[in-house]
Structure 1
Amino acid sequence: MTRLELDRISVTLAGRPVLADCSLQVGNDERVGLVGPNGSGKTTLVRAIYRAVDPIAGSVLLSSDNVEKLSQREVARRAALVHQEPVTYFEFTVEEIVALGRAPWQGPFDRTRQVDRVVIREALAQVGMAEYGSRQVGTLSGGEKQRILVARAIAQKTPLLLLDEPTNHLDIHAALDLLELVRALGRATLCVLHDLNLAATYCDRLYVLKAGRVVAAGAPVDILTPALIREVFGVDCVVLTHPVTKSPVLAFSRKTKQDRTPEPEPVPHPRRSR
């Protein structure tokens, strides 16, 4: 059963079209990547999934149910977010941060229960931080902080994980470590990534956004071609094959000045029919 399905969604923010007719799917245990230039609408698309923004057209389905008909609590029981912003809760302990993932399963006046403590301990163990529960978040490295956010998402017990540029503030060792961890979880995952080589290595399928539209979708080896990279990102590249993983490896070079073409304007969105 498909965990996530976006059917031709369009989003306008402050009167400006941001997404137009975007469709994608993420199935059970599938790792799907979302890539594209800055400003192409990747984060907005993720925000539409958990109802931080409302599409003016199209639909977002979580486990076959339209998110418009679900409460925010129910959405949080089906999709957990690992966002791109660095952790700033320096005065909190690791356990307190991970405990936030239990909120969708608690009543408004519930305290952390024994069942929640068990889930929190299990989540910390899964990210290799079982001994860190009492540590202050401010004492952790960048990679450790991102692991804590993944642990919070694990504790949320959702069938779908949403990751919005989770490697944005990490060095390459921490980035690889985090993506290996996410892959080992075996959950349906939609991950926004800037690094195309990381996306090619860790994602089963990719969707490529340009100017608010999905312009390509498929397995990394099929769609990450020099022609697409040139059209979407405005750079030339040579596509190689990694000798170990067999995934595509992209070696980039800038286009010459005379080759550069202006970005097209997004196509105006249709008005939503109610």
Structure 2
Amino acid sequence: MRLSLHDVSVRLGPVPIVADCDLTVDDGERVGLVGPNGSGKTSLLRTIYRAIDPFAGSIALAGDDVRTLSQREIARRAALVAQDNNPDFDFTVEEVVAMGRGPWLRAFEATSGRDGDTIGRALERVRLTDYRTRRLSTLSGGERQRVLVARALAQESPLLLLDEPTNHLDVHAGLELLELVRDLGRATLCVLHDLNLAATYCDRLYVLHRGRIVAGGPPAEVLSPELVRTVFGVTCTHLTHPTTGGLLLAFSPRHVAPVSALGRGR
């Protein structure tokens, strides 16, 4: 499943939110979308599943313009895990995950044995098989997020769209969730605010700043100290993670001088 955005612009009423954005996600690729608060990340994500219609440009899923696809067909191709996306009613875990089968069922059609198998595999994948009958309100934030990921898995869509999936999660729950997503091997577009998580779990990154994509490519190339200073307003130093060997970013306010300049050791 390939996702392609070309020259996409978004307006909310008369207000321009995003302008002239190009973005691609290839089959099996994990792509991150990062940027400061208010830069347009969620709005851009919402155009993919047509919660917002783009003011200009085109969006294609597997080569088909989303404007030519029904919501059911879009849902068969792309599954969303949105921020704070909890059902209004206190469903059981199994009931929530079963909602992912909706795009494949006819109106008023009940789930079948095959649907039950798919739901069971999704629960097993997120390690919540024993939670089937638990109410969503009884779960921790990390467990609820895993339920929503399981619902997306039950949807059997080849593309996952994740909008800040680690928001409000503690360190352990956030890392566990991103490890799970990485192990799925599906094409993924993930909005993240934590640059170190983005650098660790994404193959490529796009940086959105003031409604425009200003950089795209491998994390170590994109998250240069110069770009981080310009876009995020902080000083950034590239380090090597002592365990993984990957990129680790150390931040400080722009006005703080390096330790060496302060007379280290005095």
Give the superposition deviation at 1:86: 5.3
Residue in 2 aligned with 1:15? 14
- Tell me the distance in 2 between the aligned counterparts of 1:86 and 1:14: 24
* 2:209 matches 1:210: yes
Q: Distance in 1 between matches of 2:214 and 2:247?
A: 19
> Which residue does 2:259 correspond to in 1?
none
Instruction: Name the CA distance, whole Å, in 2 between partners of 1:43 and 1:11.
Output: 11
User: Which residue of 2 is the match for residue 172 of structure 1?
Assistant: 171
Pairing 1:66–2:29 present: no
CA contact under 8 A between 1:89 and 1:138: conserved in structure 2? no
Tell me the equivalent position of 2:158: 159
Aligned partners of 2:44, 2:235: CA distance in 1, in Å? 27
Q: What SS does the corresponding residue of 2:130 show, helix, strand or coil?
A: coil
Deviation at 1:241, TM superposition (A): 1.3
Displacement of 1:247 in angstroms is 2.1
| 1:73-132 alpha-carbon deviations (Å, 9 max, x no partner) | 000000000111153556210000001100000011101221111110110001011111
The answer for the alignment partner of 1:240 in structure 2 is 239
Question: What's the counterpart of residue 111 of structure 1?
Answer: 110
1:254 and 2:253 matched: yes
Other-structure match for 2:192? 193
**How many residues end up aligned between the 2 structures?**
256
- TM-score, normalised with respect to structure 1: 0.91
Farther-moved stretch of structure 1 (110-119 vs 186-195):
110-119
Q: What is the CA–CA distance in structure 2 between the aligned matches of 1:81 and 1:92, rounded to whole Å?
A: 19
Which residue of the partner structure matches residue 220 of structure 1? 219
Runs of at least 5 residues in structure 1 that lack an aligned partner in the other structure: 258-274
| Range 71-80 or range 243-252, more displaced | 243-252
SS at 1:60 equivalent: strand
The code of the aligned residue for 1:215 comes to V
- Deviation digits for residues 137-171 of structure 1, max 9, x if unmatched? 11111110000000000000001000000000100
Moved more, 73-82 or 245-254: 245-254
Judge conservation of contact 1:44–1:53 (CA < 8 Å) in 2. Answer: yes
Separation in 1, partners of 2:176, 2:217? 25
User: 1:39 maps to which residue?
Assistant: 38
Query: What is the rounded CA distance, in whole Å, between the counterparts of 2:215 and 2:161 in structure 1?
Result: 20
Which residue identity lines up with residue 132 of structure 1 in the other structure?
Y
Higher mean C-alpha deviation, range 111-120 or range 155-164: 111-120
What is the identity, as a one-letter code, of the residue corresponding to 2:163? D
- Are 1:90 and 1:136, in contact at CA under 8 Å, matched by a contact in 2? no
Q: How far apart in 2 are the matches of 1:87 and 1:53?
A: 20
1:231 pairs with 2:192: no
Match of 1:269?
A: none
Does the 8 A contact of 1:33 with 1:203 survive in 2? Answer: yes
Counterpart of 2:210 in structure 1: which amino acid? A
- Identify if the C-alpha distance between structure 1 residues 142 and 86 changes in structure 2 by more than 3 Å, giving closer, same or farther: farther
Q: 1:82 to 1:22 in 2, by over 3 A?
A: same
Alignment-mate amino acid for residue 203 of structure 2:
D
Give aligned-pair identity as a percent: 62
One-letter amino acid of the structure 2 residue matched with residue 229 of structure 1:
V
Cα 1:88/1:101, change in 2 over 3 Å = closer
The correspondence of residues 71-82 of structure 1 with structure 2, limited to 5 A, is 71-82=70-81
Question: Letter of the aligned partner of 2:81 in structure 1?
Answer: V
Tell me the distance in 1 between the aligned counterparts of 2:123 and 2:10: 36
Structure 1 match to 2:126: 127
Structure 2: segments with no counterpart, 5+ residues: 257-266
Higher mean C-alpha deviation, range 221-230 or range 248-257:
248-257
CA RMSD, Structure 1 to Structure 2 (Å) = 1.2
